[in-house]
Structure 1
Amino acid sequence: MSVLARAVREVESAVQRGSSTPSTRTKFQVIALLVREERAQVKADTTRSEAYRAEQLKRLDGIATILAKVAVRESPLLELLDENAVVTDAARGLRREMLIAAGRQPGEDSVAVTTPTATTTANAATTAPKRQVVPQAVVSRQLSNPFLAPDYEAFSAVAPRPDTQRPRRLVNWELIEPLLNSFETAADGKAASMDLPDRADPRTRDGQLLMRHQAQVVEAAEEGHRTFLLADEPGLGKTAQALLAAQAANAFPLLVVVPNVVKTNWAREAALWTPGHPATVIHGDGDTIDGFADIIVVNYEVLDRHVGWLGDLGFRGMVVDEAHFIKNKKSQRSQHVLQLSEQIRTRTVRPLLMALTGTPLINDIDDFRAIWQFLGWIDEKKPRAELMGALEATGLTPADPGFATAARTSVIDLGIVRRRKVDVAADIPARRVADLPVELDDSLGRSIRKAERELADRLVARYRMALEARAEAAGTLTGAAAVVDGIDHDLVRRVVGAELTDKSAKTGENVFSMIRRIGQAKAGLAADYAAQLARNVGKVVFFAKHVDVMDAAEAIFAERGLRYSSIRGEQTNKKRQQNIDAFVNDPEVAVAVCSLTAAGVGINLQVASNLVLAELSWSAAEQTQAIDRVHRIGQAEPVTAWRIIAAQTIDTKIAELIDSKAGLAARALDGSDDEVASAADVQLEALVALLTDALRAEVLPVTP
């Protein structure tokens, strides 16, 4: 102990003088290694009294504290505390000398030598995140006990129940696809929601009154349920439910991963619902965060920088807001979220894991896959133990008629919670979407219709070329598939797919630039209608997809003498919140001009009951999210979304497709028996309709 104490003082003095030489760095690392070894030996020495061991451990803590202070002054030394840090020959030699000086027999070296090879260096360069940071507050937290790796042994995952340890009947069956498909084929007219307990007292610990559906989720967490796909319709208070569930489950520290636009709102909600648990929000590199906070909020966009230290912090719960953001498992943010949830599940006994999204299905039932994996219900290839046990207990296989219904129930019971406003919040007035067709009869409108005809002509030419090429290759067109009314519909879809993926230069506009121009053409008409609404019925929310449409609308509002707030993606969180507060609290601010993508989630604008959708989205979910900024708890009036549609253009077809695709979530989660339209992209279906209409108009024959 005296040898270590003397050596640590030498290192401390050298760093204070600013002379941190390679020998000082070597001595720093060796002291850290020996402290770690000595601590383990003291704990394992049962021949000594408890008092002696406590005293030795106290002295070791004193040495560790000095090293921690040194590392704070000289941050490069932190790298030497990593268990995988390279141990040089010089360090191994110094360790031996210090042991001999202390009267110890060096014996066999217990320090593993790590020599970076060219291959491992190259691999590290290709697999490491682009940029990793560790905020200083987190460093301070780690340095409070820097030489012991976290002891996760006490928090190891719960062993599976005996009936789930050895899958039997289903071990050789492919189960993931049947499980996913069961949500499309086994709708029984009931919402996909687990049985939830009622809470005797629907109040929080601080006396705030909850709605019944909110209190049920909190009570389920209180009773021990730990995984939730909380898929309530937007506007039913999922943020509050998640925070209070974490409090009920004592799942702190809690990691919350959210879109950038809502992270400040999460901190506000935490202060409101769980005031006894401080929250910190990570901005950028997180230089100013509180590393000791109970709730740490990070946005998807910077998660790659922080995934390293977040994985080691010892979270007992994790919430993923707008969980449909992780539907693409190949994306970096999805991989980071899944990595963090895996680490938490491995290290913590029954952690609280919650996926929050009012629109879990955007395009396809397969969107469930990443969310289920985050929750630990499945892995890459098969159900995990708990779900496998439930499936085994059904006594059925995918070949049996009743398997789909039983499988769907088994997944729901793991924690799917889906409630609709109409069912649980009768005090929220109804909403409706009203389409307002507008005629684009100016020069811009004429040019748009001309560009649309040119696009249709280009698709027809592609179709003819494809027919001719196939005829030359096969010698005949006899037996062509899916020929209806003289049109080969399979070929139509292939032609449209080629148009969407063709990156080569071509004359004329594509569907994306055309839709943008339609939005520009509608901007003045949509803003004029919003201004009329503001004059007649009060506050109005104006949604647009493109900045130039927002700019045009704001110019018209200013010209009409209407004050407005602008809520955009490029704003700072502070500025954005100021503009939201101005619209909500200032009676003179008549219009909120919102970005459809940046303001479509995480904000409450129920002070208005009318909104104008100036541009159409490519997804039903995005449109729904926008409407639900207004149609949510606290709304006192019926809500109307006025959707501006350019008549006699492709705009009308896109609106129809958006409405048809909204049926997917209804069928999978709400138990609807409605037929679900194809889950293919709206862009594809819009162009298929455009080409099909053009071919019918020409009465194009099958043979060239």
Structure 2
Amino acid sequence: MSYNESARTALYEHHTGLSTIFSELEAQEKRKPELAEQPAELTVTLLPFQREGLHWLIAQEASKYKGGMLADEMGMGKTIQTIALLLSEPRGKPNLVVVPTVAIMQWRSEIESNTAGKLKTTIYHGASRVEDPKKLKQFDVIITSYNVLESVYRKEHAGFRRTDGVYKARSALHAIHYHRVILDEAHNIKDRQSNTAKAAFALETDRRLCLSGTPLQNRIGELYSLIRFLRIEPFCNYFCKKCDCSSLDWMFSDKRTCDRCGHKPVQHANWFNTELLKPIQNAPTAVEREAGMRKMRSILKHILLRRTKVERADDLGLPPRIVDIRRDRFNEEEEDLYQSIYSDSARRFSSYVAAGVVLNNYANIFTLITRMRQMADHPDLVLRRHGATENDTTLVCKICDDEAQEAIRAKCHHVFCRLCVKEYVEGYDAEDTQEPLECPVCHVPLVIDLTAPALEVDEDTVKKGSIINRINMANWRSSTKIEALVEELYKLRSDRQTIKSIVFSQFTSMLDLVEWRLKRAGFETVKLQGNMTPMQRDNSIKYFMQTASVEVFLVSLKAGGVALNLCEASQVFLLDPWWNPSVEWQSGDRVHRIGQHRPVRITRLVIEDSIESRIIELQDKKANMIRATIEQDDSAMNKLTPGDLEFLFTVC
């Protein structure tokens, strides 16, 4: 019997309709592109492919799916296509738009400027937000953030603690039945077990739409959360192998028997896992894995629309985009410091390999790799990490030893940057070990809600904890990478015009050092980081865009890698390679998007013969996985393995 066949046979016996699902999908023709009429109240003219997208969105909502995923490549106008949908018939309200915090003000601005005030909009964010569901229903569009959505859901279901007990508060967002719910950057719910995903699943609406240029980032299983939110049956459902019981949710209140049929959890299977995820990831033969991929594509072609800039180059008329890798080498002092850290790290890693406990020491290995990445930026990021600040209230990430961006706290009370710990959690592959993922600090099992609201800290306190205040800058020495950036920026200077650049880094202390160096080199800069309010972020973006003398925008990749429109800039510099290639794609496309008229150059600064050059090679594996699934490329599916970790520690 072939892989997973016994589970299928048991399910088919009591759920006969499942046996014909894929033959019906194959027989169903993919919707042909047609041009929709432009809504009369839309003040911007849609491009032909955007009118095709609008027609697809309208048709999807009218179909049995009641929605779908718009997965156009970043910078192709998913927002304006969605606004056109909001203006199309049948018109209904309220519509809820859930976005990353950084995009709240941009969404409101786009709606107001492109609909001539025809859509009444409110922002559900901050202390002054409207809490009365009856009043919220009067708006055409309600804009909120993922953090707020998760927070109100958690307070309604788990409650919040006060000195005299635990209290629960009704969620105004979940008290409304919506005409339509739209998730922008929908990959924010990719972890099906997170509170953010559960908060999105709990929303009641007639129509559902996911927007994401990168709906798949790390693993095939991430697609389940989007399918679950869209309620694409039967893939989102659980089925009993012993009877005809089926349900959208995992219904085991006592953790022993099904609330509906009384059978045990082991007798229930999720259809997405059974037919798609397990065959693709675990099937013993290439034939069975390829069959799983064909099935995945058979459903995606009916619920997902993906266009790329290359495919629609004639419609877009975008200027060329050039991606360069500038490769530099350490100076002698940096080389000695790096080799010292590398030798110690490689020795410790080799001991784990020899003992066969690589994955059991994932936390230690992850820390070693992070330190080498920081050393490639500037030695001070590693050498000055201890005694981070004299003020104990400053939040410092225990992974990057930097000022924590969107700080969240684990159950063991250690604080991390949200994106650092996400990277840490998502990079762990537990298939080869029964050991749970452990805290990288105290090594107890890691329990953390990756979507919890950010911990609050006074902005002045954060500034006092800057690396600049921990170093005697009178004797400070720059680094090879910072000087490479300064050299590139000097090349861009012109007497005729101001060429604006965006500089991305994962490490805010690196941005602090870059800012200090650039100001002394005569550059005016603006900085965007994770401790800013939506209004502060919006004002910083506007100042960069509207002030001719500002040449450089320093952006924390954790705070501004998505949902920004920065077409005033035409140059992007990525200071440190990121594990997830889609994050870098997102950051580069902040400037290469509709509205850009200048050639765009994206420069990745890499130190040769360091861990950075290896990370770039490993990125290709995830890029192949994304293309194989979303863009229907037949490249091999790969994920990082202990062998890949060993590659990072191999001498060039």
Q: TM-score normalised by the shorter chain: which range applies?
A: 0.5 to 0.7
Higher mean alpha-carbon deviation, 617-626 vs 565-574, is at 565-574
Query: Which structure's residues are more often strand, by fraction?
Result: 2
1:454 aligns with 2:312: no
Q: Which amino acid aligns with 1:293?
A: F
Higher mean alpha-carbon deviation, 276-285 vs 557-566, is at 276-285
Q: Give distance in 2, aligned partners of 1:686 and 1:457.
A: 17
**Secondary structure in 2 aligned to 1:598?**
helix
Q: Which amino acid aligns with 1:229?
A: M
Contact (CA 8 Å) 1:194, 1:412: kept in 2 or not? no
1:355-391 deviations in Å (ceiling 9; x for gaps): 1111111111111110001001032436999x99xxx
Q: Give distance in 1, aligned partners of 2:152 and 2:556.
A: 28
**Secondary structure in 2 aligned to 1:216?**
helix
**1:534 aligned partner:** 492
**Secondary structure in 2 aligned to 1:511?**
helix
Contact (CA 8 Å) 2:528, 2:556: kept in 1 or not? yes
Matching residue within 42, 50, 72 for 1:214: 50
1:129-166 deviations in Å (ceiling 9; x for gaps): xxxxxxxxxxxxxxxxxxxxxxxxxxxxxxxxxxxxxx
Contact (CA 8 Å) 1:217, 1:241: kept in 2 or not? yes
**Secondary structure in 1 aligned to 2:215?**
coil
**1:516 aligned partner:** 374
Cα deviation, residue 234, structure 1: 0.4
Cα deviation, residue 561, structure 1: 1.4
**Cα 1:221–1:454, aligned 2, differ >3 Å: closer, same or farther?**
closer
**1:297 aligned partner:** 143
**2:399 aligned partner:** none
**2:363 aligned partner:** 501
Q: Which amino acid aligns with 1:499?
A: N
Cα deviation, residue 642, structure 1: 0.7
**Cα 1:434–1:577, aligned 2, differ >3 Å: closer, same or farther?**
same
**Secondary structure in 2 aligned to 1:320?**
strand
After superposition, residues 58-457 of structure 1 pair within 5 angstroms as: 171=15, 194-199=30-35, 201-202=37-38, 204-223=40-59, 224-225=62-63, 226-248=66-88, 249-274=90-115, 275-287=117-129, 291=136, 292-307=138-153, 308-340=171-203, 343-344=204-205, 351-377=206-232, 378-381=235-238, 407-408=295-296, 410-426=298-314, 427-457=317-347
Q: Which amino acid aligns with 1:430?
A: P
Q: Give distance in 2, aligned partners of 1:401 and 1:639.
A: 39
Cα deviation, residue 196, structure 1: 4.7
**Cα 1:376–1:244, aligned 2, differ >3 Å: closer, same or farther?**
same
1:688 aligns with 2:632: no
Contact (CA 8 Å) 1:261, 1:569: kept in 2 or not? no
Contact (CA 8 Å) 1:451, 1:509: kept in 2 or not? no
Contact (CA 8 Å) 1:203, 1:210: kept in 2 or not? no
**Cα 1:277–1:529, aligned 2, differ >3 Å: closer, same or farther?**
same
Q: Which amino acid aligns with 1:366?
A: G
1:597-645 deviations in Å (ceiling 9; x for gaps): 2111111112222211111212101100000001111122332211011
1:271-298 deviations in Å (ceiling 9; x for gaps): 1334311111122355357623221111
Q: Compute the RMSD of aligned alpha carbons.
A: 3.5
**Cα 1:672–1:435, aligned 2, differ >3 Å: closer, same or farther?**
same
Q: Give distance in 1, aligned partners of 2:97 and 2:615.
A: 35
Contact (CA 8 Å) 2:293, 2:629: kept in 1 or not? no
Contact (CA 8 Å) 2:526, 2:554: kept in 1 or not? yes
**2:606 aligned partner:** 645
**Secondary structure in 2 aligned to 1:233?**
coil
**Cα 1:443–1:686, aligned 2, differ >3 Å: closer, same or farther?**
farther
Q: Give distance in 2, aligned partners of 1:405 and 1:511.
A: 33
Q: Give distance in 1, aligned partners of 2:542 and 2:34.
A: 35
Cα deviation, residue 556, structure 1: 1.8
Contact (CA 8 Å) 2:624, 2:636: kept in 1 or not? yes
Contact (CA 8 Å) 1:523, 1:552: kept in 2 or not? no
1:470-489 deviations in Å (ceiling 9; x for gaps): xxxxxxxxxxxxxxxxxxxx
Cα deviation, residue 686, structure 1: 5.1
1:435-475 deviations in Å (ceiling 9; x for gaps): 111112143442122111111111222333x2xxxxxxxxx
Contact (CA 8 Å) 1:199, 1:215: kept in 2 or not? yes
Q: Give distance in 1, aligned partners of 2:640 and 2:500.
A: 37
Q: Which amino acid aligns with 2:487?
A: Y
1:557-592 deviations in Å (ceiling 9; x for gaps): 211211122122212222222221222222211111
Cα deviation, residue 403, structure 1: 6.7
Contact (CA 8 Å) 1:254, 1:318: kept in 2 or not? yes
Q: Which amino acid aligns with 1:636?
A: H
TM-score by length of 2: 0.65
Cα deviation, residue 258, structure 1: 1.2
Q: Give distance in 2, aligned partners of 1:173 and 1:198.
A: 32
Contact (CA 8 Å) 1:611, 1:641: kept in 2 or not? yes
Contact (CA 8 Å) 1:231, 1:419: kept in 2 or not? yes
Contact (CA 8 Å) 1:238, 1:356: kept in 2 or not? yes
Cα deviation, residue 317, structure 1: 0.6
Contact (CA 8 Å) 1:456, 1:690: kept in 2 or not? no
Decide which structure has the larger Cα Rg and report it: 1
TM-score by length of 1: 0.60
Q: Give distance in 2, aligned partners of 1:376 and 1:528.
A: 50
Q: Give distance in 2, aligned partners of 1:522 and 1:616.
A: 16
After superposition, residues 473-484 of structure 1 pair within 5 angstroms as: none
Q: Which amino acid aligns with 1:287?
A: R
Structure 2 gaps of 5+ residues are 1-10, 154-170, 240-245, 249-269, 276-282, 379-478
**Secondary structure in 2 aligned to 1:228?**
strand
**Secondary structure in 2 aligned to 1:319?**
strand
**Cα 1:685–1:297, aligned 2, differ >3 Å: closer, same or farther?**
farther
Q: Give distance in 1, aligned partners of 2:44 and 2:628.
A: 35
**Secondary structure in 1 aligned to 2:606?**
strand
**Cα 1:671–1:533, aligned 2, differ >3 Å: closer, same or farther?**
farther
Q: Which amino acid aligns with 1:379?
A: C
**Secondary structure in 1 aligned to 2:150?**
helix
Q: Give distance in 1, aligned partners of 2:294 and 2:328.
A: 49
**Cα 1:412–1:582, aligned 2, differ >3 Å: closer, same or farther?**
same
**Secondary structure in 1 aligned to 2:569?**
coil
1:223-249 deviations in Å (ceiling 9; x for gaps): 424312111100011111122223324
Q: Give distance in 1, aligned partners of 2:93 and 2:78.
A: 18
Q: Which amino acid aligns with 1:423?
A: E
Contact (CA 8 Å) 2:69, 2:210: kept in 1 or not? yes
Q: Give distance in 2, aligned partners of 1:403 and 1:585.
A: 53
Number of residue-to-residue matches in the alignment: 465
1:525 aligns with 2:489: no
Q: Give distance in 2, aligned partners of 1:659 and 1:687.
A: 15
**Cα 1:200–1:616, aligned 2, differ >3 Å: closer, same or farther?**
closer
Query: Which structure's residues are more often helix, by fraction?
Result: 1
Contact (CA 8 Å) 1:376, 1:384: kept in 2 or not? no
Q: Give distance in 1, aligned partners of 2:360 and 2:500.
A: 45
